[in-house]
Amino acid sequence: MTSISEDSDKEKVRSVSVDLNNDASLVIDIPDALCEREVKFTVHTKTTLSSFQNPDFSVPRQHEDFIWLHDTIVETEEYAGLIIPPAPPKPDFEGPREKMHKLGEGESSMTKEEYAKMKQELEAEYLAVFKKTVQVHEVFLQRLSSHPMFRKDRNFQIFLEYDQDLTVRRKNAKEMFGGFFKNMVKTADEVLISGVKEVDEFFEQEKNFLLDYSSKIKDATAKAEKMTRSHKNVADDYNHISGALNNTAADNNTAFKKHLEKCAEVFEKLRKVEDRVASDQELKLTELLRYYTRDIQAAKDLLYRRARALADYENSNKALDKARLKGKDIAQAEENQKQCLQKFDKLSESGKKELTSFKARRVVAFRKNLIEMTELEIKHAKNSVSLLQGSIEILNSN
């Protein structure tokens, strides 16, 4: 279909998180994406690290490859004490695809202008979805590359470098089922976690905060989505009004016609601005909320893993006591208990670090995006103002 690279005039829509490319030793971006049956992202890496074969290279990757990478990291025991960057959601081209279908079907019954307008709408929507999905995949990789532990991950390196199809290394059906199962167990963990007694003040606070915040941010995301959709509807309406005005003007002559045409022009331009307002709001606000909903979930996952380790530790204590009572397998039980404690301590220690930096990261991200959104809103509104002022002047002078 179409290959869409980032426009030169559109602001480089960078991460919803902090500027993650500030470490020059490993810089990743997605400069391009192709959409045929599947979306193919071009993952471009620039690095000074010796572990890579080339200093500058690109590979094509599909969405499933990203999911594979995410899942292998999640299943790596070593990373249990870290917040795993959330997996990017599947690209959703349902909206544009539907429109394209409608366009193809109705081509014969529409006038040339209507067709052109619908095509415009379609392209705008496509572009918006594209920007979103590229951004979210990019951020995922950048989170990994900027983390001291993840960047060294072998699978990550393969992902970046392996210049052939990754499909063979991806989950086969059995593994996928395994992953599914893991998710189910996790939900049971949630119940477990809320019940576990927490001794550490820090984690107790974190748990309460994350649980509360999680539900609120989910709600805010949903409401933001609805609001953004309404904006888009308004922009669409401007489009239709502009078309209808032109139709009415075409049938006329005299001053009436001129007024209508001018009005149609204004609506057309306003539509463009409204479209940008809607998509910028989506990108900066709605996407921000969406992303942090997922990130909060990842933080919660860390807490669950830690709580599970705690539960394991407590179980191992009980087992040790039982073994001591029975007089059997004491060494083994002691060893088990020591390991559990170690694991728990390690998770607690790294967990604390991760959660603290998560806080900082979240605040910075919100700041950045809110500022950018506000600046864009101001810019668009000022554009509208000058557009409207100009048109009013012209109409009045006629």
Q: Which residues bind other proteins (CB under 8 A)?
A: 209, 212-213, 216-217, 219-220, 223-224, 226-227, 229-231, 233-234, 236-238, 240-241, 243-245, 247-248, 251-252, 254-256, 259-260, 262-263, 266, 270, 359, 363, 366-367, 370-371, 374-375, 377-378, 381-382, 384-385, 388-389, 391-392, 395-396, 398
- The minimum distance between CB 106 and other proteins, in angstroms, equals 16
- The nearer residue to other proteins, 329 or 377, going by C-beta atoms, is 377
- The minimum distance between CB 99 and other proteins, in angstroms, equals 17
Structure tokens at 99: 């429109």
- The minimum distance between CB 289 and other proteins, in angstroms, equals 8
Residue tagged 């893991």 (tokens): 182
- The minimum distance between CB 224 and other proteins, in angstroms, equals 6
**Residues facing 26 on adjacent strands:** 47
- The nearer residue to other proteins, 108 or 254, going by C-beta atoms, is 254
- The nearer residue to other proteins, 114 or 175, going by C-beta atoms, is 114
- The nearer residue to other proteins, 121 or 236, going by C-beta atoms, is 236
- The minimum distance between CB 162 and other proteins, in angstroms, equals 40
Look at the alpha carbons of 33, 34, 40, 42 in this order and tell me if their dihedral is positive or negative. negative
- The minimum distance between CB 285 and other proteins, in angstroms, equals 9
- The minimum distance between CB 22 and other proteins, in angstroms, equals 19
- The nearer residue to other proteins, 169 or 240, going by C-beta atoms, is 240
- The nearer residue to other proteins, 2 or 208, going by C-beta atoms, is 208
- The nearer residue to other proteins, 152 or 226, going by C-beta atoms, is 226
- The nearer residue to other proteins, 14 or 229, going by C-beta atoms, is 229
Q: Helix crossing, 112-146 with 63-74: angle to 10°?
A: 30
- The nearer residue to other proteins, 300 or 308, going by C-beta atoms, is 300
- The minimum distance between CB 203 and other proteins, in angstroms, equals 14
- The minimum distance between CB 263 and other proteins, in angstroms, equals 5
Q: Which residues contact 163 (CB under 8 A, 6 or more apart)?
A: 57, 59
Query: How many CB atoms sit inside 10 A of residue 292's CB?
Result: 27
H, E, C per residue of the chain: CCEEECCCCCCCCCCCCCCCCCCCCEEEEEEEEEECCCEEEEEEEEECCCCCCCCEEEEEEEHHHHHHHHHHHHCCHHHHHCCCCCCCCCCCCHHHHHHHHHHHHHCCCCCHHHHHHHHHHHHHHHHHHHHHHHHHHHHHHHHHHHCCCHHHCHHHHHHHHCCCCHHHHCCCHHHHHHHHHHHHHHHHHHHHHHHCCCCCHHHHHHHHHHHHHHHHHHHHHHHHHHHHHHHHHHHHHHHHHHHHHHHHHHCCCHHHHHHHHHHHHHHHHHHHHHHHHHHHHHHHHHHHHHHHHHHHHHHHHHHHHHHHHHHHHHHHHHHHHHHHHHCCCHHHHHHHHHHHHHHHHHHHHHHHHHHHHHHHHHHHHHHHHHHHHHHHHHHHHHHHHHHHHHHHHHHHHC
- The nearer residue to other proteins, 137 or 300, going by C-beta atoms, is 300
- The minimum distance between CB 388 and other proteins, in angstroms, equals 4
